[in-house]
């Protein structure tokens, strides 16, 4: 029972101790409630693809005489839901590691090389969008190379998901005055409504309910991105205008 509080009044040491103790209980309770909600949300998110996979497999088993195109559709749906499940599990593992405080491997690395790698991978994921890489300059900062690449892929993946074919996605890197790095991922996509913008870093938050049905997203990309940036003592900001596009800027200290 976490709701117990120590009663002590006055200004003596015991009262101070009681108040400190009660504050500690409050923060444990808050963390506990957040964790409970996270587990509930995660279970809910895991259940949807599982239900779809089981439903389609049952259909295939019960109706052996299904027309081939129906069979193919059921199989494809099961496969794509299994893929979603695997993305969800990977994202949940990233956040579990974040919550457990697993430290990053921070050492100087060549940001421009990582930017180029991420760009090349993203180009393979693009679906009719034009991907542009701004001219790169050599930039070195201390950081976890793999995590920074994960961060860039999250941002590029979002830009691709939320930019219709024919749009443009621009990836940029420049050195900051203080020896740090400034990374930008800009798209000409659907944008984020102002009312949603303050929430996009919350776990499982997705701006448009209609879009939440798109099988691509988990609502965990930006929370992971923010955690990576925070671990680098950096900053991440999002500028967005519905119908015009979104620009994400990441500053990493030198």
Q: Is 156 in the site for ligand ADP (CB under 6 A)?
A: no
Q: Is 226 in the site for ligand ADP (CB under 6 A)?
A: no
Q: Is 162 in the site for ligand ADP (CB under 6 A)?
A: yes
Cα–Cα distances (Å) from 58 to 46, 54, 62, 74, 159, in that order, read: 19, 6, 6, 10, 36
Interacting span for ligand ADP (CB under 6 A) from 40-48, 71-79, 114-122, 221-229 = 221-229
Q: Which of 154, 195, 194 is nearest to 171 (CA)?
A: 154
How many C-beta atoms surround the C-beta of residue 202 within 10 A? 12
Q: Which of 119, 141, 114, 122 is nearest to 233 (CA)?
A: 141
**Could you tell me how many residues of this chain bind ligand ADP (CB under 6 A)?**
23
Interacting span for ligand ADP (CB under 6 A) from 12-20, 71-79, 123-131, 183-191 = 183-191
Residue from 41, 77, 117, 208 binding ligand ADP (CB under 6 A): 208
Q: Is 109 in the site for ligand ADP (CB under 6 A)?
A: no
Interacting span for ligand ADP (CB under 6 A) from 38-46, 106-114, 138-146, 210-218 = 210-218
The whole-angstrom separation of Cα 59 and Cα 70 is 10
Closest approach of Cβ 193 to ligand ADP, in Å?
9
Bridge-based pairing of strands 235-241 and 245-252 is antiparallel
What are the phi and psi torsion angles at 60 (to 5°)?
A: -65, -35
Residue from 56, 94, 129, 158 binding ligand ADP (CB under 6 A): 158
Ordered alpha helix ranges (H), the chain: 13-62, 68-100, 111-125, 145-161, 221-231
Instruction: Give residues in contact with ligand ADP (CB under 6 A).
Output: 158-159, 161-162, 187, 189-192, 200, 205-208, 211, 217-223, 246
């Amino acid at each position: 029972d976490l709701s117990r509080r120590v009663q002590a009044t006055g200004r003596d040491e015991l009262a101070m101790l009681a108040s400190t103790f009660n504050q500690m209980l409050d923060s444990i309770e808050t963390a506990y409630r957040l964790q409970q909600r996270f587990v509930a949300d995660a279970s809910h998110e895991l259940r949807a693809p599982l239900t779809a996979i089981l439903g389609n497999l049952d259909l295939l088993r019960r109706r052996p005489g299904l027309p081939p195109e129906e069979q193919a559709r059921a199989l494809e749906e099961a496969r794509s839901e299994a893929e979603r499940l695997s993305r969800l599990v990977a994202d949940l593992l990233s956040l579990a590691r974040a919550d457990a405080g697993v430290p990053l491997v921070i050492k100087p690395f060549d940001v421009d090389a990582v930017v180029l790698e991420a760009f090349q991978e993203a180009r393979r994921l693009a679906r009719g969008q034009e991907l542009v890489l701004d001219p790169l300059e050599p930039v070195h900062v201390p950081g976890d190379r793999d995590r920074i690449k994960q961060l860039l892929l999250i941002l590029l993946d979002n830009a691709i998901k939320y930019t219709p074919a024919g749009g443009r996605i621009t990836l940029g890197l420049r050195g900051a005055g203080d020896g740090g790095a400034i990374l930008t991922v800009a798209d000409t996509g659907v944008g984020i409504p102002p009312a949603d913008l303050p929430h996009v870093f919350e776990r499982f938050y997705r701006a448009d309910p209609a879009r939440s049905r798109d099988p691509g997203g988990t609502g965990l990309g930006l929370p992971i991105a923010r955690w990576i940036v925070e671990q680098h003592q950096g900053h991440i900001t999002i500028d967005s205008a519905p119908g015009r596009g979104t620009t994400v800027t990441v500053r990493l200290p030198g």
